[in-house]
């Protein structure tokens, strides 16, 4: 991986695959994961696109940054595009990456050919719950979350124990910086795009997991109903639908961006 320096002077780890002069896709990971959660999609798209993945601040090999906000998460995407001299890209984010996409659709629409928001919401969870989780993680670490994460990330029908990428993704949570995780929780606590969705005119695909207990179909329908140019798709999966159903996810995304 390479690193770029963002506008706050902090390092963000990036991985670039595919074709140099092809259309660009940038993938944004969920809370507690890293860029590897998009391995299947990177392999799928690199034959026809330039594929950019990155570790969200405080995750993977990217620096932990204190007092992070949703705006900071969006600005990191713009800083990556600028560092790579990319004028416009297709953005695809899941969960935390998805709400980052909503912020980008409002604040930097001119930088994106399209925005895909997967397994996300305009307001994810409750403020107090996020703040409590941040405090608990800082005090006690991530071990308890790691033990139960499969119940939120994957459905009962998915054999996550024998799926190499699923196991690697669970281990990425175990390896995530506790401070980095907590900072992201606090950013999500105050991230609320519900009143701004109608401003989004960029072509947007909303992907929902039919078995997602974290960000529900209703959350996706709300986004789709408010944005100006949206499409809605559902996948028979839980929260990390791109890992549980990688081929279906990639095919839906391909049809949308092409």
**The CATH number of the domain where 78 resides is what?**
3.40.50.1820
Contact 113, 88 (CB under 8 A): yes
* Residuewise pLDDT in 10s, the chain (258 residues): 999 999 999 999 999 999 999 999 999 999 999 999 999 999 999 999 999 999 999 999 999 999 999 999 999 999 999 999 999 999 999 999 999 999 999 999 999 999 999 999 999 999 999 999 999 999 999 999 999 999 999 999 999 999 999 999 999 999 999 999 999 999 999 999 999 999 999 999 999 999 999 999 999 999 999 999 999 999 999 999 999 999 999 999 999 999
Contacts of residue 191, defined as CB under 8 A and 6 or more positions apart, other chains included, come to 69, 70, 99, 103, 123, 124
Q: Which pLDDT score is estimated for 173? A: 97
Alpha-carbon distance 97 to 101, whole Å?
6
Q: Which pLDDT score is estimated for 71? A: 98
Residue-range definition of the domain harbouring residue 86: 2-257
List of long-range contacts for 162-171, beta carbons under 8 Å, 24+ apart: 163/243, 165/36, 165/37, 165/39, 165/40, 165/243, 165/246, 166/240, 166/243, 166/244, 168/36, 168/39, 169/33, 169/36, 169/37, 169/240, 169/243, 170/146
Contacts of residue 167, defined as CB under 8 A and 6 or more positions apart, other chains included, come to 160, 161
Domain count within the chain: 1
Its pTM stands at 0.98
- Among 187, 193, 220, which residue's Cα sits nearest to residue 64? 187
Checking DSSP bridges between strand 230-235 and strand 204-209, what pairing results, if any?
Answer: parallel
Structure tokens at 141: 């670490």
């Amino acid at each position: 991986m390479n690193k770029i320096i963002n506008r706050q002077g902090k390092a963000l780890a990036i991985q670039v695959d595919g074709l140099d002069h092809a259309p660009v896709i940038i993938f944004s990971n969920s809370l507690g994961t890293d860029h590897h959660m998009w391995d299947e999609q990177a392999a799928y798209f690199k034959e026809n696109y330039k594929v950019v993945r990155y570790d969200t601040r405080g995750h993977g090999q990217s620096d932990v940054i204190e007092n992070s906000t949703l705006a900071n998460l969006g600005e990191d995407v713009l800083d990556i595009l600028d560092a790579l001299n990319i004028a416009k890209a297709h953005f695809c984010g899941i969960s935390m990456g998805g709400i980052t996409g909503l912020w980008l659709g409002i604040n930097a629409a001119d930088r994106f050919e399209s925005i895909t928001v997967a397994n996300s919401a305009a307001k994810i969870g409750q403020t107090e719950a996020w703040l409590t989780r941040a405090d608990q993680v800082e005090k006690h670490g991530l071990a308890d979350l790691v033990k139960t994460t499969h119940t939120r990330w994957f459905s009962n029908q998915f054999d996550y124990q024998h799926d190499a990428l699923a196991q690697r993704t669970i281990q990425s949570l175990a390896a995530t910086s506790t401070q980095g995780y907590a900072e992201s929780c606090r950013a999500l606590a105050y991230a609320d795009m519900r009143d701004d969705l109608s401003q989004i005119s960029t072509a947007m695909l909303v992907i929902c997991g039919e078995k997602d207990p974290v960000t529900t179909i209703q959350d996706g329908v709300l986004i789709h109903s408010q944005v100006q140019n949206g499409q809605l798709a559902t996948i028979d999966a839980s929260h990390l639908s791109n890992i549980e159903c990688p081929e279906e996810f990639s095919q839906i995304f391909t049809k949308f961006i092409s």
